[in-house]
Amino acid sequence: MNVSVILAHPDPASFNHALAKSVVDQLIKSCIKVNFHDLYLEQFPSELPAREISKNIILPAVIQLHCDEIAQADGIIIIHPNWWGQPPAILKGWVDRVMRPGVAYKFIGDDKGEGIPQGLLKARVALVLNTSNTGETRENQVFGDPLETIWKNCIFGLCGVTNFHRQVFRVMVTSTPEERRQWLKEAEAITRQVFPQST
């Protein structure tokens, strides 16, 4: 089994980075191959150029690498903060350039312009870990938790990954060191549950 882990947070000292380390360490303990990308550290080129919209082009090497890895992944883990109810721009750009037609989905043969997709990803399970400064009640009542819809339905569901899990760690700004330690243990446990030891 191999799992792609994608991290999107600009601060190396962030809790998101601690989450990523816990998740990757747990996957390695479970004898799972990991393809890990820290998008900010790698300075992932997130802006989608017009020429790349076409399906039949030669992609830049870095984009092709990400496309190949995500196409072959048995599982996917995404880690990022909740910014304005959305992923950070660099991660949105990663989705635009990597979860592309012919890699993550295609439109069904008899589609007449309705845009009915067929998922192509090999992965059958996805885990999204978010941090947030918004309490759960306010998130649901005022904002409707847009990240749940984005990742579960608009991205992974469309691309054929129906076994979806998400955990939000909140409220970050008022959290104590002990709460954060507990959240890291929780992230490890979720990772173990969603991605059991490879045989």
DSSP designation for 122: S
Q: How many domains does the chain have?
A: 1
**pLDDT tens, position by position, 68-82:** 999 999 999 999 999
Residue length, the chain? 199
Task: Note the helical H segments in 2-105.
Answer: 15-29, 61-72, 89-98
Cβ atoms of 167 and 126 within 8 Å: the answer is no
CATH code where residue 52 lies: 3.40.50.360
**pLDDT tens, position by position, 99-120:** 999 999 998 876 666 778 899 9
Residue 172: domain span: 2-194
Q: Look at residue 23 and tell me if it is in a domain.
A: yes
Q: Look at residue 151 and tell me if it is in a domain.
A: yes
Task: Report the DSSP beta bridge partners of residue 106.
Answer: 118
55 phi, psi to nearest 5 deg: -75, -30
116 phi, psi to nearest 5 deg: -85, 115
pTM of the model: 0.93
Q: Look at residue 107 and tell me if it is in a domain.
A: yes
Fill in the amino acid letter for 20.
A
For residue 133, the model assigns a pLDDT of 80
Q: Look at residue 20 and tell me if it is in a domain.
A: yes
Cβ atoms of 106 and 120 within 8 Å: the answer is yes
Fill in the amino acid letter for 125.
V
Q: Look at residue 19 and tell me if it is in a domain.
A: yes
Q: Look at residue 13 and tell me if it is in a domain.
A: yes
- Cα–Cα dist 97/32, whole Å: 26
- Cα–Cα dist 179/75, whole Å: 28
Q: Look at residue 199 and tell me if it is in a domain.
A: no
Asked whether residue 136 carries a pLDDT value surpassing 90, the answer given is no
Q: Look at residue 114 and tell me if it is in a domain.
A: yes
